[in-house]
Amino acid sequence: MSLAVDLMHLVVIVTGVGIGAWALIALRRALPRGRFLVFGTSSSGALFGCAALAGEVGLVPPVAWFAIVMAAMAAMTAGAVRAGRPKTRTT
């Protein structure tokens, strides 16, 4: 189980750093101020995910925390992409 938890730690950290870097670079024009919100959320998600996987948060097993954190990061990324799209006006 230790190797699996270590691998989940690595995936959470790489995902958090990757989403943060993507937010700062790719969302520069689409969300000028919102990219920092996405960066901060991905960083805090990675920190919380690592703490939860280490057993610091004992509400559910580590595998469930992994799924929750990864789903939250995916939802946040989808929301950032959706918010950054140009809006068509129908008047």
pLDDT grade for 34, boundaries at 50, 70 and 90: confident
What is the number of structural domains in the chain? 1
Q: Nearest CA to 42 among 8, 73, 1? A: 73
Would you say residue 9 lies in a domain? yes
The whole domain housing 60 covers 2-81
pLDDT grade for 2, boundaries at 50, 70 and 90: confident
* Residue 1 reports pLDDT greater than 70: no
Would you say residue 48 lies in a domain? yes
Q: Hunting for tokens 């950032």 — which residue is that? A: 80
Q: What is the pLDDT of residue 33?
A: 83
Rounded to two decimals, what is the model's pTM?
0.83
DSSP H helices in 1-91:
2-26, 34-53, 62-84
Would you say residue 52 lies in a domain? yes
Structure tokens at 46: 């990675």
Would you say residue 24 lies in a domain? yes
